[in-house]
Structure 1
């Protein structure tokens, strides 16, 4: 298995629970993180090595990433697994999967590359690279079938982990917050490059919000490896004395908050499953943004908007993601309880649509692939 970042590590860890039930003597190894290792996974490289987004940013790490892929390919061809599962990280995994499939190793990709949103030309590469795709959104298998790609809808694992009705009071007790606190959560990303481009402006936006609501509690869940970088951004923005930074615990933070300012990515879907109003933001290298924008097929980048097929939450990208605008969007949510109630109803319907027995469905599909 290869999971390339924090969100992939979380999804792969949930899959491993189902695999252990079906195959108690399972041996699993590859590239993964803490969630996978907690389930007995042997991480030959940490998932953080692949946690890079954007064309220019990848170029800076290209030699190391290609070297890791070459070493992993050689290792897997020498000690052939029953199946290889690439978890998201398509830029890394699809090339590796193509080589393994050509050598007769069965390949499964979990989380279909979003060809319906970005880079439709990936379809041919997916067909060449994988025996089967495990899809987390219900419309994907039919779309892939149109291109001759076998796929199974397995639901989104997080829809089973995250409660339909989150216990906000318990989450606040866990984080040392009071039941009646007004709480803003800042989630500036799980990659070094995301934090570099977003954290300082998130803290500056929070300073604006704090002027309107002086008693507001501001809490930031930090990937442990990025905590020092986030603390430095808070200090530069003059907010270090006014924020609570916690290691991990992103789910508790989302359950506890009233609104979140959040980097575009998987975390936005987690926020939707927690039924939280959000402001989605993203900023990256200018050249990377220009290249990505040309391949965009949807009018939105945030998963909640894409899945709801509507602008249910604001998205502020690139130049639009400046602190004052971010703060204004957060303040608008705090002044709109009726809009929040309607949003929570829509997110509840989305949660119901994504809830399946993911571990069993995924394991059944993989069993068939292994049996040939």
Structure 2
């Protein structure tokens, strides 16, 4: 059992992230809390980012919570129920002042609901608002029944929850905060050992095992065709990934025999540092697409779900785009290849346009500049979110 050893008067926080993107958000929030209150006690569930920011140990490995799609979740329900109960028991024992959950609603909301029954209930905050503006708008009213507050990543989201009586706060996107601390393009390329004539292509196959299985072959097929069609171009593939996925990706990449050996990056700081060194990228739909956009990297996205999950979601979704940049900009700045359109032929064509038509990449970059302006906040996201959480804890 994890423990909180600290000044008895110090604030106690239990924070939960369910996947890598949540771990990155959690690390920014912990940093802000520690900067504001150095004696704060942090416990919870997280990955390397949160541990480096101040989470001493994770209750259990965060990777156990990385599930995708309805059909993929169902077989894991018994184990998830066990982990939910274990988490609630830990919270009841530690008696934190605030419980913060980040994304991963399948797990996190079940924990938050159970906390409502505790005699000494902590303040309950969730980070990353459900996309009620995209589908199932009734969720805003539902979560208002068991959450005290919600922290949003996008400026148009708070009103959806405030009208249900919740405290809602737009923190901004923490990735913008980290951009100023990243090496510039020249430094990033030097760290990767890239020469001036090499085209660095980021390959983001996902942070979940199921995602990698569904997307890696399709991505690699399109990239191999790109290499074969343009032998005069020196393509260097960069795979930012997680340690437990490296061997799977290496084995798949070796089958394609690329001219240049692919580079695999697992260190969290190094993965952030390479963004500005990339010339282009192919990525699964998700948080990484927004991060590529904010870094000014031209890219395409592709995504496949289990057929059952896709059919269910297709009937519920009320928006025209999947990429968050496209949603906020109101048009398809970044090409999206979803479900049946996510095939090697389409991805190859999208990548070739980025490689061979400078005006296509330039148009994306213009859109990304507008996106950065939309997402700006008066305070750094880590500082603003910490102040909001501390104010909530004091009430």
TM class, shorter-chain normalised?
over 0.9
Match of 1:334 among 355, 359, 370: 355
Q: The residue matched to 2:41 in structure 1 has which SS?
A: coil
Are residue 144 (structure 1) and residue 172 (structure 2) matched?
Answer: no
Please list, as runs of the form range in 1=range in 2, the aligned pairs for 1:25-44 lying within 5 A after superposition.
Answer: 25-41=39-55, 42-44=57-59
Q: How high is the TM-score relative to the length of structure 2?
A: 0.90
Shift of 1:353: 2.6
Please list, as runs of the form range in 1=range in 2, the aligned pairs for 1:332-371 lying within 5 A after superposition.
Answer: 332-356=353-377, 357-371=380-394
For residues 119-153 of structure 1, the C-alpha deviation after alignment (integer angstroms, 9 at most, x for no partner) is 32322222112101111111111222223222011
Tell me which residue corresponds to 1:225: 244
Structure 1 unaligned residues grouped into runs of 5+: none
Shift of 1:283: 1.0
Q: The residue matched to 1:43 in structure 2 has which SS?
A: coil
Whole-Å Cα distance in 1 between the matches of residues 297 and 276 of structure 2?
Answer: 8
Please list, as runs of the form range in 1=range in 2, the aligned pairs for 1:148-227 lying within 5 A after superposition.
Answer: 148-163=165-180, 167-214=184-231, 215-227=234-246
Q: Identify if the C-alpha distance between structure 1 residues 164 and 292 changes in structure 2 by more than 3 Å, giving closer, same or farther.
A: farther
Structure 2 unaligned residues grouped into runs of 5+: 1-14
2:132·2:160 contact (CA, 8 Å) conserved in 1?
no
Are residue 244 (structure 1) and residue 244 (structure 2) matched?
Answer: no
Q: How high is the TM-score relative to the length of structure 1?
A: 0.95
1:133·1:150 contact (CA, 8 Å) conserved in 2?
yes
2:296·2:365 contact (CA, 8 Å) conserved in 1?
yes
Shift of 1:303: 1.3
Shift of 1:342: 2.7
1:259·1:276 contact (CA, 8 Å) conserved in 2?
yes
Match of 1:264 among 285, 289, 297: 285
For residues 98-135 of structure 1, the C-alpha deviation after alignment (integer angstroms, 9 at most, x for no partner) is 22234322101111111112332322222112101111
Whole-Å Cα distance in 2 between the matches of residues 135 and 83 of structure 1?
Answer: 17
For residues 173-203 of structure 1, the C-alpha deviation after alignment (integer angstroms, 9 at most, x for no partner) is 1111113322221111111010010011111
